[in-house]
Amino acid sequence: MKNCVIVGINWGDEGKGRMVDLLTENYDIVVRYQGGGNAGHTVINEYGKFALHLLPSGIFRKGVVNILGNGVALDLENLWKEMQTVQAQGVFLTPANLKISDRASLLLPWHRILDSLEEERLKEKKYGSTKQGIAPFYSDKYQKKTIMAGELFYPEYLEQHVRDLLEWKNLTLAGIYGAQPYTVEQMMAWLTNYGEKLKPYICDTGDFLRRAHTKEKSILFEAQLGALRDLDYGIYPYTTSSNAIAAYAPVGSGLPGVKLDEVIGVVKAYSTCVGEGPFTCEWFGPEADALREAGFEYGAKTGRPRRVGPLDLVATRYGVQIQGATDVALTKLDVLSYMEQIPVCTNYRLDGVVTDEFPFPAALPKAEPIVEYLEGWHCDISKIRTWENLPKAAQNYVRFVERRIGCPVTYVSVGPERDAYIKR
């Protein structure tokens, strides 16, 4: 059985959760491989409406094993709260269908505090963080200054490790930011409280995945955010602090030797972006308000209004390339139905030169969008389920997009519900 990774091609919020929820039907295992509770994957299904932050979007499917891989930022407190919310809506979570990697590093309470303190210090130069502690967490992980989930099974080792970490971390908290330092007792109480709740789910998921792979179980890897927020390939420094690209999926999941068979890149039919950073196609005023309302573009995690604009084919083509996408799922096509003509950014003008290459981040603020208009379809397409029934103008829009980005559009999503899609 082939394995597959579902990734975002743009700035995030493309509708990955919706695609994972749809496609998990065909998979045995779903793995989240990077990022943390700063995600907000919206899923609508028979259990209701959910904004999943850390839980993999396969948790609604009976028989599917969901894994939080070693690459995620594991916030025990928020994960536990999310599990309670989801279970209250009738979803069963047991160590059989939810497994947490013992090699996942822990996002600790001071990471969230440091995230807020640093955004406050930056004032108008802030990164637009969701303040979930993700940047301080990943910098600590790469400095080898946090705790692995499996250490919860070694209390004496853990306590000494916490003591060593605090000696260092309090220098930053109290010394640089003037914040309250942590005590070993406080940290151990937090770790014991949430650790005891979650220990039943923590195991050697690498071993589990290797065995599953040998038995030819099908594995779906689920990314958070999008290519343009990838730490190495995105619009640095307005990126996230982890690698959201498909190539990281094997590493962050616990199957570093596996080859990816399919990479489904999710692209929204127009552009949106939450937070700071250059956003070349951005609209303002009534035009932006109309698109934001039509697509209900408010952050699933923060409720922040998203920045909106027409589909940016320059950024999307770049996203497709760095993701190595084999297929594209084009979501929210129904949202464009209200438009007389459909705008698309086909090129950028940079220092007077027209280009279809995505610029280096430092050059991006100077880029200007060149926009073309395609014919609109002026009717509700949200009930359409076959390609043949899609209005010709909508078909033309999809074909135009796939030609320009160099990747086939295999799925067209026309509504947030599980069945509101067209498979070509």
Q: Which residues bind ligand GDP (CB under 6 A)?
A: 8, 12-18, 39-42, 44, 300, 331-332, 334-335, 413-416
102 labelled catalytic: no
| Cα–Cα distance, 38 to 268 (Å, whole number) | 19
Nearer to ligand GDP, 52 or 203 (CB): 52
Minimum CB separation of residue 79 from ligand GDP in Å reads 17
Which residues partner with 35 through β-bridges?
72
* Single-letter residue type at 420: A
41 labelled catalytic: yes
List the Cα angle 44/50/55 in 5-degree steps. Answer: 115
Minimum CB separation of residue 240 from ligand GDP in Å reads 12
Nearer to ligand GDP, 45 or 172 (CB): 45
Minimum CB separation of residue 394 from ligand GDP in Å reads 12
Q: Which of 21, 41, 75, 312 is catalytic?
A: 41
Minimum CB separation of residue 56 from ligand GDP in Å reads 12
Nearer to ligand GDP, 97 or 331 (CB): 331
Minimum CB separation of residue 51 from ligand GDP in Å reads 7
3-state secondary structure of 124: helix
- The closest of 120, 365, 315, 141 to 241, measured between CA atoms, is 141
Non-local CB neighbours of 175 within 8 Å, separated by 6+ positions: none
Count CA atoms within 13 Å of residue 128 on its CB side: 18
Nearer to ligand GDP, 46 or 156 (CB): 46
Evaluate whether 347 touches 299 at the Cβ level (below 8 Å): no
Evaluate whether 232 touches 35 at the Cβ level (below 8 Å): no
SS3 track for 317-380? HHHHHHHCCCEEEEECHHHHHHCCEEEEEEEEEECCEEECCCCCHHHHHHCEEEEEEEECCCCC
Nearer to ligand GDP, 239 or 347 (CB): 239
Evaluate whether 265 touches 7 at the Cβ level (below 8 Å): yes
Catalytic positions are: 13, 41
